[in-house]
Structure 1
Amino acid sequence: MNGKPVSVRTESGVRRSAERVCAPVLLLLSLLMLLYPFLHASATIRSWNTPALPQDWPLNLGIALFVGIAGMLLLGASWRMAQRAYGFSRSPNSLAKSRNPR
């Protein structure tokens, strides 16, 4: 460009707008990933004494648990991203203190 450094406000504004789009999408994805192991366990329990139960159900259950753990990690990262993007606090007490300073 013209050799001038990009101002921090512009870069921060672009990053914040990207976080405002990505944070809700990642939160939704992580919640779906957390729901998957429960749905899988429910299906396994329903088909326990039937011929519909696959022979490799332990492997499938392990994959479901792995997806759930990845969902937990993604939930933490997307929650932090949403905090930065929307400016809300982690604890309800700090929000109450900021509204009612003594």
Structure 2
Amino acid sequence: MIIVTTDFVPGKEIKELKGFVKGSTVQSKHIGKDLLAGLKTIVGGEITEYTEMMDEARQKAIGRLVEDAKSKGANAVIAMKLETSAVMQNASEIIAYGTAVVVE
């Protein structure tokens, strides 16, 4: 599956438009990792527990985007975007979305 953030795939021609596709996940904080992260806010620096959590969430959302695109018969997604939002106090949603196409 080709995934690009542009409106085209360099060197390829869009043969068919399959439509909007998306994938999302909601991640919540792990209480143990949350405690470690809280301690790191005192001393400063990267909070690797959250970095890892958000990276995992992005990968899940993109994986679900790919599944959605494949189910529509696409072999590429153009104009892919990632967004995040807080859905409750201790949980964030990551959504990946774009336009599924067939390219040659």
Structure 2 length normalisation: TM-score? 0.31
Return the structure number with greater strand share.
Answer: 2
- Which of 1 and 2 has higher RCO (CA within 8 Å, sep 6+)? 2
Which one has the largest radius of gyration?
A: 1
Return the structure number with greater helix share.
Answer: 1
